[in-house]
Amino acid sequence: MGPRLASFSELWLFKAAATGEMHIHLADICSKYGGSNSAGLVRVGPNELISSDPDVGRHMSATKVKRRKGQWYASMKVDPYVDNIFSQLDPVKHDKLRACMSQAFLMKENPHLSLKIDGSIASFVNLIQRKYLSTSENARPIDLGLVSQYFSLDVITAIAFGAPLGYLDNDQDLFGYVKTTDAILPFVTLCSSSPSLGWFMSQAWVTNLVGPSPQDKTGQGVLMALAQKYVGERYGSDSDDKQDMVSLFLRNGMSRRQVESEILAQMSSMFCTSFAGSDTTSTAVRSIFLFIISNPRVYALLQAEIDDRIRNKRISSPITDDEARDMPYLQACIQEGLRIWPPFTGMMFKQVNPGGEVIKGTFVPGGTAVDANFEYKGHCGWGMQRGPEFGNDVEVFRPERWIEANQDQRKIMDRTVDIVFGSGRWACLGKAIVRAELNKVFVELLRRFDMSVVDPSKPWDSKNYTVFVQNKMWVRITERKSFG
């Protein structure tokens, strides 16, 4: 049940990761071999199984069963010397960290979060008006892929530090963040996809020998120094009453070093399933924009819904989260965008319990408590979003499927798309923040501007390394005359 090479070697998974199209390879083998058992399990390594069945994904992340994370997660340290909530393998330590961090992500208890999103969207609009409005006489294309990254970074740093770092205001890759993360992502993905390599690179002596340092002038060490600077300014202050993440984390008893690790992970986040990561959120913004503006029928219907809400004074300026949730076609576009291009495609292996367990009618061996050769069960996020619950046209971007579905079918589809944000005890802490960003940004830009892809034959450069590295998404933007 899987490629023959994968039954005895890590090489198949390593080679798939190196292509930059790992999500496609995983979905293909799930489609080819997944029918051999009731759980759709496919072998991708000697001790590694994946499935594109959403029920199996939820089963492995169930809150009641305290499974351990697999070695895959250990490769996901952004600060290689300290675990973050995503890379922490110990269930008890993970749950303690989650409890300390969760308050910072609650939209209802932190109304300032919505204001910070609004502020970053205003900066997004301002940047377009300052530099990127095209006319018939003057073409000023924008790399919407890169600027979407700037937007997500400004949102997360505003929430983390109290004010955005100013990526949009400067229209610049501050601190070399984008360059650094784009450079390290392929290697991180290779390490996570090769348990032996990942284990070797996670050894303390290797990290101490070749790992980054805050004294470095380039690369990951620069980001570590940035996190240390911002956290250090707050640590030990009796007068710090801000409601940003740094202050809330410190007040909830997290150590200075742990807060530095978590804040760095926020900025460099490859981890949509733990919090509102900038890389995953920017991918959602880019991909949904691309699918909307490259589909004339969808584009026209969405702008018509926006215009109707403006005309009937049913949305504010800026739009509120509640108002956006009441726009059925907007919500259908967002759900369909997350489905057809899930922004996070990591396998997220969990250990099968010692002695083995039955997963949807299929017995999976789990070794013994002292046996290192557990079976590791992960999921194929790309394949999950192309299941039969979405119909026979799963490769088509068609928001109407969400409106046509009856209540029961819609509930099934919503639950599957929700796996984009993780599930159970590993569910995304920042889901509400990400949803609010998506609910607002499309309305605020499309009510003001018309957009078109400059080169439909090559709309962007896109590679997949657990998250997507996407740029050169050149878009022509003009001002809407009917904006109200």
pLDDT in tens, 69-112: 888 888 878 788 888 888 888 888 888 888 888 877 777 667 78
Enter the pTM of the model. Answer: 0.93
Distance (Å, whole) CA 209 – CA 220: 15
Contact status, residue 134 vs residue 144, Cβ threshold 8 Å: no
Distance (Å, whole) CA 25 – CA 294: 26
- For 281, the token pair is 């959120």
pLDDT grade for 482, boundaries at 50, 70 and 90: low
Distance (Å, whole) CA 82 – CA 257: 8
Neighbouring C-beta atoms of residue 236, cutoff 10 Å: 9
Nearest Cα neighbor of 288 from 133, 151, 129, 119 is: 151
Q: Are strands 376-379 and 48-51 parallel, antiparallel or unpaired?
A: parallel
User: What was the pLDDT predicted at 192?
Assistant: 87
Give the burial class of 350: count Cβ atoms within 10 A of its Cβ; 0-12 exposed, 13-18 middle, 19 or more buried.
Answer: buried
Instruction: Assess whether pLDDT exceeds 90 at residue 385.
Output: yes
Contact status, residue 262 vs residue 254, Cβ threshold 8 Å: yes
Q: Per-residue pLDDT tens for 159-201? A: 888 889 999 999 999 888 888 888 888 998 898 888 888 888 8
Q: Per-residue pLDDT tens for 203-233? A: 888 888 888 888 888 777 887 888 888 888 8
Distance (Å, whole) CA 237 – CA 205: 35
Coil, helix or strand at residue 245:
helix
User: Is 428 annotated in some ligand binding site?
Assistant: yes
**In the chain, where are the structural domains located?**
4-479
Q: Per-residue pLDDT tens for 332-373? A: 999 999 999 999 998 988 888 888 888 888 888 876 444 445
CATH for 4-479 is 1.10.630.10
Q: Per-residue pLDDT tens for 287-305? A: 999 999 999 999 999 999 9
Instruction: Assess whether pLDDT exceeds 90 at residue 246.
Output: no
> How far from each other are the two terminal CA atoms of the chain, in whole angstroms?
57
Give the burial class of 26: count Cβ atoms within 10 A of its Cβ; 0-12 exposed, 13-18 middle, 19 or more buried.
Answer: buried
